[in-house]
Each structure stands twice: as structure tokens, then as C-alpha cells.
Structure 1
Amino acid sequence: MADLRAPAARPATDIFGDPIDAQPLWFKKSSFLQKDFDPEAYVADLRSFVPLESLRSELRIYLSSLNVDLVDHLNRDYADFVSLSTRLVDVDASVSRMRAPLAELREKVSVLRGNIASSLASLKGGLNQRAEASEAREVLELLLDAFHVVSNVEKLIEALRSIPNDLSSTDVINLEKSSIHNGISLQNNETIVNPDKTRSVFLERIASEMNRLKFYVAHAQNLPFIENMEKRIHNASLSLDDSLRHCFVSGLERKDHEALLNCLRAYAATGNIAGAEEVFRTTTVSPLIQRIIPQKSSDVDGYGPSDDLEEDFQQIMQVIEAECKFFLDISSSANSGFHVFDFLANSILKEVLYTIQKGKPGAFSPGRPTEFLKNYKLSLDFLSYLEGYCPSRSAVTKFRSEDVYADFMKQWNIGVCFSLRFQEIAGNLDSSLAEPTITPVPDLLPAQANSQGLVLKQSIALLESLKACWKDDVLVISCSDKFLRLFLQLISRYSNWLTSGLAARKVHHSASDATPNTEWAISASPEDIIYVMHDVNCLLDKLKNEFLGNILQLLQSCSLELLDSVKQSILQGGKSLEDSLPSLLDAIIEAIVEKSAEELKHLKAITATYRMTIKGPPVRHSPYVSGLLRPVKAFLNGERIGYLTSESKAQLLHNTANRLTSRYCDLVSELVDTVRKTESSLQRIRQTAQRRGGTSSDASDNSISNTDKLCMQFFLDVQEYGRNLQELGVAVADIPAYRTLWQCVAPTERQAAIDF
């Protein structure tokens, strides 16, 4: 016998005494012994944090260890394994002895199974027959009940027909016997004597029976017995509807509370809700409404003076209060089960809508927005009046969910009305902004220059358009978002008109080559732009105070978050106007500077004078200096300067002085530099010529050069210019360009300090 055991090798250990080939913590042998072990899931779980190479290596090591364990088990029980075959002696005989009783047992089980299956089939057949018999019995009972109900209904209808209009004593006795026989108890003599109440009691009972009959018919459809009774059922239903209608109409005419209650219960029992609503509409509501709004005989369309609905709605509400309130109170009584009816919508509102469509179709025409909007708001008030008859919030919700309510609201095409208003309001502003010039309206000029009245036609058109968006005869609260958007678009349109015009003013020099709606800015004078700045400030004040407060008050029913968004949008629109103010002021400054700078052209003449003539040192300033600030003084002393705020005046004066001084400084610096370079070149040429001729230049060293004379003249001019600026209130020492100009022309000993 060969020994299959492999020599056991002692595993190596590390410095901590653990085997070097010890398996890692993530490799657990117990996982392979689980019943629901899935190799793919196992590998998928481990590969997220263990490399596949390491997993494969561990599996191979584990397989090797399993093979070693198997060999060990075989070697340990090898003798028993080998001797197993020697113990299996006469196995076939043993199997034959056990086969006979097993076959006998199988035969008995087969016979028993057959008997059980036969009994089970017989039992199922009996149960099916029992179920069929039970179902047939139920159908028969249903048919018998239906037959009894039909017969009872017919008897009740006959008894109902036998009720005379005026009951005698004999009729009362017969009616009592008939009612007892039919299962109806007449409680008191008042009910017996009043035929309407008696009929209503019978009708309520008949309706209850008809409701039962509908149930039976619904559960026994397509049966011959029911089909044979269809004619009787149909006749009974027609008789009930006709009698119920007459009794209901009689109760409405006499305002019989008990009779109406019984009739409404009968209508509710039969499910004929629409029938009751239609009867009330045609018999009670329609005559009342059509007396107020008679139908037109001619096919004349359009809005006319008679299409105003104010007086009509007032009369309709008065009629409802006088003639219909008692019935509406009955139909809305608590715990009555009459919530299935909606007489407000399907009777009153339906008739009002129909009558207006036939009698005053022009009331729904948005062609004349003012009249249309007036009628629309009156209709909303009328709907609110009808909702006042609703006993609960759920009743109001039901009223608003009715189809006739939706049809009524569809008649008012608010979208078309808003489109017409949009064209009207925006068109007025666009036509004003399209004018090529800005002209003040003399009649609207404010008495005081610093008042808050607008001056220009374009600004007045904007203000009127902004106000029109929130007028009572224009605004529709349900479209307030659209009107707010139009309000902001108008402001944006005016702001774009300003910015595009000012941008064109910087590029174009004549109005002929300007783009549309920008000619006004090119042809506008500084005084005209003052009016524009004044109007922008007025509009800003109105936006932040008057308009903002009014709009938030109109939308006070909205959430605080929405109101805050509205406020921010309006303030943002005002900011777009406010952002145009610096550009407007800059346009005024640029125009004044350009006009003042025309005097600077005399500087070149002064340069030529000193260069081409023998002129002595200057003793007084040049005449042009007095004209430099003449346009500024004329502008500040003008009549329209009062339209500017004090802050704008100060900013205008300071920026104008800065720009004019900067241009003055650039031109003087350029001229002085040119003259110095020219004189230096001439001096070098002269010295060269003198050296060639052997002459001396000492005689000319002490003379004053043309450059020095020119700087002396410019220094006198700059001093006078500074004095003129100070007279206007400008601190010349704070102007960097003036300090540069002073240092450019002042003598060396006077460059440190500016003094006159």
C-alpha cells in the first residue's frame, strides 16, 4: 500500500510569530460553506478593494490546502475505504426481497388515490350544483322583488293620480286607507288636507321605490323577465318624472316648504339632479331674467349703449333676493343631502349667461375695452354675490368647478382685451418717442424750476402710460402680472430711448445719418438735455414713492415673497433710468466744453506772433482767456439751470472745468514743446553758422528767447484763467490738469505753489 501522505512542512513565521503564508482578513473560508454562495457576487464584492491577481493567488493557495486535507482524510481512513467493496455481498438478493412489498404498497396507494379523486369530483359537482341553485334562487328573488316593486310603483302612481285638487272628507278617508295599504303613513290632517304636500309624500315614496328598481334592473340585465317589464318600468319612470315636475313647479309657485323638500328628496333618490335644476331654471329663473334682459329680435352685433350690464345685474340680484332666496335656503339646508344640487350654477348662472348671449351679445365683445372691462368686473361681483349663497367652502369650490361657470368665464376674453390695451398704451409712448426732437410743452411747464412737474412730451407720454396700466377701468387683477410686465417694459423702452440717443450723439455729427429714434439727441442743445434730466429725476421720484406704494397696495392680497419680487423689479426699472443720468450730464458737459474750446484756436496765433515777429515780453493776459469760460457762465446763468439739482450743478461745473482745463493743458504743452524743439534746432543751426564764420554768439546769450516770451504769455493767461475759475467757485488747486498746466508755463521759482 502506497502512502499518499505528503511530508508536512513547518510553515515559516515572521518576526511577530505569525505564519508568512497566513491568509488575509478579507479571505474567509466560511463564505464557501454558505448555502446561497454565489461565486460571481463573491468576486464582485472583493474586487472593489482587492486586486484580482491577489484574489486568484489566495484561491489557488486555498485549493492546494484543500487537496492536502483530502489526501490526509484518505490516508487516515484508507483501510475502511478499501474494505468497503468486500462488505457488499449478495446485494441483489436483498434488493429483490425489498421490491415485492414496495410494489404491493404502490398498488394500494394507486387504488386509494383513484377512490379519493372520484369522491372529490362528486363533491365538486355537488358544490357546483348548489352554487348554481343558490345563484338561480338569488336571481329569482331579485326578479320577484323587481316585480313587486314595479307593481308597488304602479299602485302608488294610480293612488297619486286619484288625489283630487281639493280633498273632501270622503276623499280623506279613502286616501288614508289607500296610503296605509301602500305603506305610507300620513302624519297629520294638514298633510291630508293639502294636496300638494300629499302628492309630494307619494312622489318621495315612488322615487324611493324607483331607486330600488334601478338597483334590481342593474343587477339583472339581459334577462327576459326584466326585458318584458322594460315598458312598464319606462312608463312608470315617465309618469314619475311628469308628476314630480308638476308637483315641484306647484311647490315653487306656492313656496310650499314641505312640498319642495319632498320633491327635492325624490329628485335626489332617482338621481335626476339635472332635471330638478332645469325645472327651476325654466319655470322660475328664466321668466324673471328675461323680463330684465329681453332677447333681441334683430341680428345686430357689436356693443351698443344698451349692452351695459350694471343696471341689469343690480335688478337680477334684487330678483334673486326676492324670488329665489327661499328656495336656495331650502336646497342648502344642513344635513339635508341636497349638496348634490347646484341651482346657483346650473339654474341661475346658466340662465343669466344664456339671456345675456341672446339679449346683449355685445357685452362680451372686447372691441371697446373700457365698456368690456366694466361689464367683466360687474360679472365678477355678480359671481361673488352668488357665492354668498353657498353654505360652506366646499360648496363654493363645487360652484366654481361647474361647467357653466367655466363657460361663463370663457365669454370674457381678457387676453384680447389686454392686447388691445397693450397696443393702446404702448402705442402712445412709441409715437411720442418716434418724434425727431424733444420739445417742452409750454402749457405744462412747472411754475417753479425745481418742481416735480414733467416738461417734455415724451416724459409726459411715459407717465400717462404708466398710470394707465393701473387705472381702475384698465387693470384686471387676474392679469396683474401682464400689466406689471407692461409697466416695466414701458420704463425699459424709455431708458433705451435715452441710452441709444446718447450713444448716437457721441458717434454722429448730424441728425441726417442717425438711426431712427436717436435724432433728438443729436439735435438737442445742452439746455434741452436739462429738461431730460429734470424729467428723469421726476420719474424716479414718482416710481419710488407714488407708483411703488400704489402697486403694492393693489397687490396686497399676494404673498410677501411675491410682493418683495414686485418691489425689486420696480426699483430695478428705476435704476435703469437713474443709470442714464450720468450720461445725460456728460452730454451737457461735452457740449459746453466743445463750445468753450473753440477759443483755444487762438493759441496758435499767439505762437505765430512770437515766432514771426520781434515782440517784447508780454505784460497782460491774452483776450481769448475771457472767452474760454463765457459758455460756461452763460449756461450757469441761463433760465433752465434751475431745473438741475444742486448736486448736478456742482458736478457739472467741476467736470466741465476738469475737461476744459485738460484740453487747455494738452494744447499748451504741445505748443510749448513744439516751440522749444523748433527754437533748439534753430539755435544749433545758428551756432554752426557762427562757428564757420568765426563770429561770436555772446551778444545773444542775455536776450529773452521766443519760448520764454511764449511761456510768459501763457503763464499770464493761465493765471487769468485760474482767477476766472475761482470766480465760478472752482478750486483750481484741486484740478490735476491745472497743476500740470501751471508747472508747464510757470517760471521755475513759482512752480511750487499756485497763487495769483
Structure 2
Amino acid sequence: MAVDPIQTPPPPPSRSNAYLFSDPLDSHPLWFKPDLFLSPNFDSDSYISELRTFVPFDTLRSELQAHLTSLNHELIDLINRDYADFVNLSTKLVDVDSAVVRMRAPLLELREKIEGFRGSVESSLVALKNGLEQRSEAAATREVLELLLDTFHVVSKVEKLIKELPSVPADWSNGDVNLVEKNVVSNGSIENGTNVRETQSMLLERIASEMNRLKFYIAHAQNLPFIQNMEKRIQSASLLLDASLGHCFVDGLEHRDESVIYNCLRAYAAIDNTSSAEDIFRTTVVAPLVQKIIPHGPSGVAVGASGDGLESDYQEIKTCINKDCKFLLEISSAENSGLHVFDFLANSILKEVLSAIQKGKPGAFSPGRPTEFLMNYKSSLDFLAHLEGYCPSRSSVTKFRAEAIYNEFMKQWNVGVYFSLRFQEIAGALESALAATSLIPVHNSHSGHWNSQDLTLKQSITLLESLRSCWREDVLIFSCADKFLRLTLQLLSRFSNWLSSGLDARKTGNTSSNSGYEWAASAVPSDFLYIIHDISCLVTEVCGGYLDDVLQLLSSCSIDILDLVKQSILQGGKSLNGLIPLVINAITESLVDEAVKGLKDVKAIATTFRMTNKPIPTRHSLYVSGLLTPLKKDFLDTEKHSPYLTKETMNELRHGAATAITGRYYDMVAEIVNVARKTESSLQRLKKGAQRRTGVSSDVSDPTVSDTDKLCMQYFLDIQEYGRNLSTLGVDAKEIPAFQSLWQCVAPLDRQNVINL
């Protein structure tokens, strides 16, 4: 029976018009790689997510559909190519069922054999596991039993060794060698107390090593009933060991027996009880010494203490440490001694010293008296540095500083409160000086001559004293250097703000009694000269010697930090120096306001020429001589102001004031002349109109000089005199733009182009 071939599926969906000008339909873009579908690690989700980052979803879907269609075409083509073989495949499968039956019988037999073998293997495996478990349990039981036996033997050994020690621990208290010898089991070779102590210390070290083993065993079998039953014996042995070891250690310290002390310390280290040794040394050796230096009662009340100073006490304590404690510190810090676990410096010496100060001189830690507090604080740092000198290595110094008692000792010194008090003291002094209602000159009356580097105002002197106070030896705490640097910059900023705000308030007129800037209202130009001089001196000092002193004090800091400190102080000096132009402007405005009062006669001259028939003027007005009087009075007296003003500043003030006064002069004259000319022009037009109405001829020129011309001539004579007065001050009137405009405004036509005074 013939079978029709499989029908070819419909063509793939049409693509966009863009494909008309691109590759054929069966080609793929570069980003589409069909070979990736055949990869064993192909993941559709990750494949699509990667392509969607740069391929639109519609384009991706269209490409996949086109690829699917091409695969379907390829499959149908393959089937149609071998279609006859595909159809005849079922006709060749003859007697398949009987073949299956013949193959099933041996397979079933093989399965039965395999299952039987598996059962035997599983039973053997179970038996083997049970045997291994029993063996493991036996081994564990044996291990526990050995542990218990070892524990029992060690306990017995410790008890036996303890029996060899003095039966009464009090026998050690007086160091009675005869009592010790009665209880010492030896070979008869002991002849003196030194050998007795050394033998006892060696025996104690041995017991301590056994106790260390015992602690190890107990840690691994602490829940067993056997161990619990032995707990009382172990505790009793431990107490006896501690008591005997303590008495032996005390006896060794009293006789300074290095061998005994070394053996006792090794014993303490073996049982991990270093704190007991440190406490014994503190109470036996350190406490009596410190008690004599800083006496205090048991209740913490000082006994016969005079003052809270610590410097002399520290000196005596240093001597005692070198005399009575150094031997033990050298033993505990010996190389390869194994005694590095002890820290007698911190937990014995420093702890006792701190306790004595807290009980005997509690006021030493009080920052309420900053001077005494700073002296005690620096003495304490020096004492800590002295203790660190006994540390054999840098790591031991680090360990010493990490001890809890060291941190507790440092916490007693509340440097934060100390800085707050110093801040109030230093900043308060400056604030009080700046709160004055006027500038306070302070002249050097006790010296025969004036130094140009001396400050002249109390406010400036207080600022410099406050700045220096921040870095004085009896004020500065190095750990607070950053805070004192910030205070330094705040002082400079406060002074700059006080000065600039006062000048602004003077300019705006806001200098009432409650504004805080009354000084600016009452200041005269000579006061501002003092300010300019003081600012120059302050900037020179702050950016010079003062900065060098600060950098020298901070020389132990890194280069980067020193550079930041330098830049910050220089910036403070720069901001202070930037106030000089503001002060100069204030002087200039004050002088101009004073000089402008004399310009009121300028308007009176215009009224006089308008209301009277005055002749043509031939000399300047009297008011001209008084216009520059404020400048002459304040800046020509070089003997009075030479200590305060440099030549450059004086010239700047003169030119600035002359320019401003000339500008005001020009504005007033130009307005008057313009009004006069407009008025005269209007009158002439009215006169000509009247003449035309009456029939009088207006062609005849008037030979008289007008009032406006007379007024301009008067002003011209005045500004000539004004220009000559400027020359006497050292100011060239020709260089002032306002004077040039004024000249052109009133000068005759034949003289407007050339200024000739």
C-alpha cells in the first residue's frame, strides 16, 4: 500500500521589509548562533537574558520562529528522502514476541542470582558495622578508663607531694627555716634555709605541673561520677597548693632568692594563676612602699597628705621601683624564661599606685584646677614612660598599654573637661576685650621709645596673648593639640568677624547700644590707623614666629599633618590681612563725610550769583581751603602717625580720600551747573519770544556776561585752588578722573583740553 509523502509545512513567516535589502532568508545575523543549542550546558533562560541586553525581544522571537521553521523543513526533507525505508521498517519486525520470551528467561535467572548475592553482602555489611561499633565503644571505654586511672594516679601523686610540704602553711609566714626543715623529706644534704626554700620551690613547681595535667584530665571527663567523687580531694589539693605556693613566693620575695622566685613563677604559670602572683607582689612589696610615699587610711581617707601634687611622689616611687622591684621585673622579662604571661608593671605597680592616688590624693585627678591638673597629668605620663622603660621589647610595651589597669589609669585624667575650662579661660578673655564699647589704646609709657612691632590696642594684645596661651607649655596637652589648633583658628576668626561686622555696622548705621558694635560708631580715623598697624603686626607674627613655634611643638607629627597645620594658620593670617582694605575704606568714608560738610558753600555760591549782580570773579572761594583739612590734620602729622602707618598705606589713604572727595565735589558742581544752564536757556527762549511779539529786533547780541558764566568762572577758580591743595598732599589732581570731568564741566572753552593749575 502506497503512502503519500509528508506534506511540506507552510513557508516561514515573512520578515520585515528590512530583509529585502539584507541577507537571504536562510541566513542568520551574527549574534544568532544555532550551534549553541547543541551544547550540553545550554540554558534557554540565560541565553535569552544575555541576548535581550542588546537585541529587541520582537527581533529575537522572529529569529527563533524562523529557525524553528527551517528545522521542521529539514526534518520533513530527511523523512521524504528515505521514506520507503521508513514505511518498510514495521514489515521487517517478524516474531518479535517469541524472541522477547526467549530473552526474558535468562534475564530473570540472572536477576535472582544478583538479589541473592546482594542479600548476603548486606548481611555481611551489617555484621561488619556491628563489629566496628563494638570495637569503637570498647576503645572509647578503654580511653575513659585510662583517663580515670591517670586522673587517680595524678591525684594520688599530688597528695603525696603535698604531704612533703610543711604541714602547717603558717610555718612559711615567718620564714622559720627550722620549722621548714622538720617537714622536708630530703637525702640529708640540706644545710641552710636557702636550700630549703629552693627545694620547696622546685617541689611546688613539680606539683603545679601535675595539677596542670589534672586540670586537663578533668576537662575531658568532668561529667563522670568517678571524677565528681574525687572533686573534694582535688579542691583540697588545689587550696593547699595555692597556700603553700603563696607562702613560698612571699618568702622568696623577702629574701630576694632568684631561684625560688623563678620556680614559683613557673609554678603559677603552669596552673594559669598569674593574677595571684601579681597580687602577692603588689600587697607584699609594692603596697608598703607606696603607703609610705602616699599615706592613706583603709577607709580611703588621706592620712597626713599635704597637697595633691604628684611629681615628687612619682620621683620617690621611681626610686623604690629601681631599688625594690627591678629584680622581679628582670626575672619575669628574662629571654626564653616562659614568664611573659606576667605583667607586674601594670597589675602590681601601676594598680597599687592608682589605688593609692585615688585614696590618698583624689584631688589630683580633678580638672577644676587646670594648672595643678596639667602638672599632675604630665608627671603621670612621664611615670608611665618610666615604667615602659622596663619593658624589654616593643611588643611588651604594646601589651602594657593594652592592660585594663593602664586604660583605667588614663581614664582618670579627664582632658576633655580640662580643655573646656581652658577654652572658657582663653576665649573668655578675648570675648571680654571685644565686648568693650570703644577701642582701647595701650601705649608703651614705661619705655623711652616706641617699637613699630608693638601692638597699640588692648583688643589686639588680648588676641595675641590668647593665641600664645593655646600653645604655652603650662597649657597645652599634646593629645588635645587638634582642639587647641581649632581654638587658635576660632580666635582668629572671632577677631576678624568682630572687626568686619563692626565696620559693616558703621557703614549701615546699625551701631546702637545693644548691637555690640558701639566701638565702631565712636571710632575716629586715628583709631582705625591703630587697627591697620595692629593687623599688620598680627599677620607678621602669626605667619612668622608664632607659626614656627607651633610647628616646632608638633614636630613629632607626620609631614602631611604639619602641612595641614601650616596651611590652616596661614589661611587665618590671610583672612586677617584681608581686613586692611575694609579699614582703609572706613577711614576714607569718614574723611569724605567730614570734608563734604564744607561743600555746602558750593550751593550758596550758586544762589549768590543768581540773586545778585556780582562782577566776574577773580579769586577762589574761602571754603576751598577747608575741604582737605581732615586729610591734612590726620595724615600730614607724620610725627604722630609714623609708628602706625607705612608710606604705602598713607599714600593709599590720601589717594582714596582725595578721589572720593573729588567725586562728591564733581557731582554737586555738575548738578548745579547743569540746572543753571537749563534755567538760563529757558529764560533766553522766553525773552526772544517776548521780543518777537513786541517787534523788537533780537539780532543785536548782548555784550554782558551771563550769571552761569560767572558761576562757572567761580567754580573754575575754586577747582584750580583745590587742585593746588591736592598737590601739597602729594596727590596729582590730573590723575583723578573726577577732577578731569570737573575741569571740563566749568573751565572756559579755550582751556578745557589742558589742565593747568
Q: Does 1:128 align with 2:133?
A: yes
Q: TM (normalized to structure 2)? A: 0.93
In structure 2, list runs of 5 or more residues that go unmatched: 11-18
**Structure 1 counterpart of 2:81, from 71, 76, 79:** 76
Aligned residue type for 2:187: E
The verdict on how the C-alpha distance between 1:428 and 1:108 changes in structure 2, with shifts beyond 3 A counting, is same
1:104 alignment partner in structure 2: 109
Counting only pairs closer than 5 Å after superposition, residues 354-753 of structure 1 correspond to structure 2 as 354-442=355-443, 451-508=452-509, 511=511, 513=512, 515-638=514-637, 639-640=640-641, 642-697=643-698, 701-753=702-754
What is aligned with 1:119? 124
Query: Structure 1 residue 121: deviation in Å?
Result: 1.3
Residue 532 of structure 1 deviates from its aligned partner by: 1.5
Query: What's the offset of the Cα at 1:156?
Result: 1.2
Q: Is the 8 A contact 1:450 1:644 kept in 2?
A: no
SS of residue paired to 1:340: coil
Shift of 1:536: 1.3
Aligned residue number for residue 29 of structure 2: 24
Shift of 1:51: 3.6
Instruction: Indicate the residue corresponding to 2:227 in structure 1.
Output: 226
CA distance in 1, matches of 2:184, 2:198: 17
Is 1:254 aligned with 2:255?
Answer: yes
Q: CA deviation at 1:5?
A: 7.1
Which deviates more, 316-325 or 674-683? 674-683
Aligned to 1:33: 38
Counting only pairs closer than 5 Å after superposition, residues 36-185 of structure 1 correspond to structure 2 as 36-161=41-166, 166=177, 175-176=186-187
Question: 1:675, CA displacement in angstroms?
Answer: 1.0
Deviation per CA, 1:170-220, whole angstroms, max 9, x where unpaired? 98995038xxxxxxxxxx978996211111111111111111111111111
- The Cα offsets for residues 546-576 of structure 1, whole Å up to 9 and x where unpaired, read as 2101111111111111111111111111122
Paired residue total: 741
Paired AA for residue 580 in structure 1:
L
Residue type matched to 1:55 in 2? Answer: L
* The 10-residue stretch of structure 1 (156-165 or 288-297) with the greater mean CA deviation from structure 2: 156-165
Which deviations, in whole Å up to 9, do the C-alpha atoms of 1:392-450 show, x marking residues without a partner? 01000000000000110010011111111111111111111111111212456986566
User: Is the counterpart of residue 294 in structure 1 residue 291 in structure 2?
Assistant: no
Structure 2: distance between partners of 1:81 and 1:2: 11
Decide whether the 8 Å contact of 1:349 with 1:405 is kept in 2: yes
Counterpart contact for 2:5–2:83, Cα < 8 Å: no
Aligned partner of 2:158: which letter? Answer: V
Q: Is the 8 A contact 1:441 1:456 kept in 2?
A: yes
The 5 A counterparts of 1:263-274 are 263-274=264-275
Moved more, 208-217 or 30-39: 30-39
Report 1:205-220 matches (<5 A).
Answer: 205-220=206-221
Shift in Å at residue 629 of structure 1? 0.9
Larger displacement relative to structure 2 (381-390 or 88-97): 88-97
When structure 1 is superposed on structure 2, of 719-728 and 443-452 the one drifting more is 443-452
- Of residues 313-322 and 26-35 in structure 1, the stretch that sits farther from structure 2 once superposed is 26-35
How far, CA to CA, are the matches of 2:104 and 2:321 in structure 1?
101
Give 1:64 deviation, angstroms. 3.0
**CA-to-partner distance for each residue in 1:477-525, whole Å, 9 max, x for gaps?**
001001111111111111110011000001117x4x3653211101111
C-alpha distance in 2 between matches for 1:687 and 1:15? 96
CA displacement at 1:105 relative to structure 2: 2.5
**Residues 310 and 378, structure 1, Cα contact 8 Å, conserved in 2:** yes
Q: State the Cα distance separating 1:738 from its structure 2 match.
A: 0.8
Change (3 A) 1:586 1:174: closer
Q: 1:455, 1:535 within 8 Å by CA — same for their partners in 2? A: yes
Cα distance in structure 1, aligned partners of 2:134 and 2:26:
78
Shift of the 479–169 alpha-carbon distance from structure 1 to 2, 3 Å rule, reads closer
Shift of residue 148 of structure 1? 1.1
Change (3 A) 1:363 1:610: same
SS in 2 for 1:160: coil
Matched ranges for 1:188-199 at <5 A = 194-199=195-200
Partner SS state of residue 28, structure 2: coil
- For residue 593 of structure 1, what is the amino acid of its counterpart? V
Contact 1:207 1:269 (8 Å CA) reproduced: yes
Whether the 8 Å CA contact 2:180–2:196 is kept in 1: the answer is no
Superposition deviation, residue 3 in structure 1: 4.8
* Alpha-carbon distance, 1:697 to partner: 4.9
- 2:287–2:352: 8 Å Cα contact kept in structure 1? yes
Structure 1 unaligned spans of 5+: 178-187
Mean Cα deviation higher: 344-353 or 439-448: 439-448
Q: Aligned AA for 1:557?
A: S
Distance (whole Å) between structure 2 residues aligned to residue 221 and residue 299 of structure 1 = 44
Contact kept, 8 Å, 2:496 with 2:579, in 1: the verdict is: yes
Q: Conserved in 1, the CA contact under 8 Å of 2:8 and 2:73?
A: no
Structure 1 residue 346: deviation in Å?
A: 0.2
Q: 1:628 to 1:18 in 2, by over 3 A?
A: closer
> CA, structure 1 residues 304+615, in 2 after alignment: closer, same or farther (shift >3 Å)?
farther
Q: Aligned partner of 1:438: which letter?
A: L
Counterpart in the other structure of 1:240: 241
Conserved 8 A contact 1:536-1:581: yes
- What CA distance in whole angstroms lies between the structure 1 residues aligned with 2:350 and 2:193? 37
**C-alpha distance in 2, partners of 1:17/1:677?**
87
Task: Measure, in 2, the Cα distance between the counterparts of 1:663 and 1:17.
Answer: 84
Task: Show CA shifts across 1:370-412 (max 9, x none).
Answer: 1011101100000000000000010000000000001100100
CA drift of 1:6 comes to 7.4
Which amino acid in the other structure matches residue 600 of structure 1? Answer: L
Moved more, 115-124 or 736-745: 115-124
For 2:276 and 2:185, the matched residues in 1 are separated by: 32
Structure 1 residues 324-372: Cα deviation after superposition (integer angstroms, max 9, x where no partner): 1111111111111111110000000000000000000000111111101
Residue in 2 that maps onto 1:326: 327
Distance 1:169 1:476 in 2: 56
Q: Give the Cα separation in 1 of the matches to 2:529 and 2:208.
A: 85
Structure 1 residues 89-98 or 734-743, which shifts more? 89-98
CA contact (8 A) 2:726 2:733 kept: yes
2-structure distance, mates of 1:708, 1:78: 130
Give the whole-Å Cα distance in 1 for the aligned partners of 2:133 and 2:705.
143
- CA 1:577–1:667: 2 relative to 1, 3 Å: same
Give the Cα–Cα distance (whole angstroms) in 1 for the partners of residues 324 and 130 of structure 2: 69
> Which residue in the other structure is 2:16 paired with?
none
AA partner of residue 250 (structure 1): D
Q: Provide the identity percentage.
A: 59
Give the match for residue 283 of structure 1: 284
Report the Cα distance in structure 1 between the residues aligned to 2:130 and 2:727, rounded to whole angstroms.
126
Residue 472 of structure 1 and its aligned partner are, at CA, apart by 1.1
Aligned to 2:15: none
CA contact (8 A) 2:164 2:184 kept: no
CA shift digits 1:132-179 (9 cap, x unpaired): 1111111111111111111111111112227995479998995038xx
**Are the counterparts in 2 of residues 450 and 643 from structure 1 also a CA contact under 8 Å?**
no
| 1:296–1:549 Cα change, 3 Å | farther
- Cα distance change on mapping 1:169 and 1:409 into 2, 3 Å: closer
Query: Residue 172 of structure 1 contacts residue 193 of structure 1 at CA under 8 Å; is this kept in 2?
Result: no
Aligned residue type for 1:526: P
Change (3 A) 1:35 1:204: same
Aligned-pair Cα RMSD in Å: 2.9
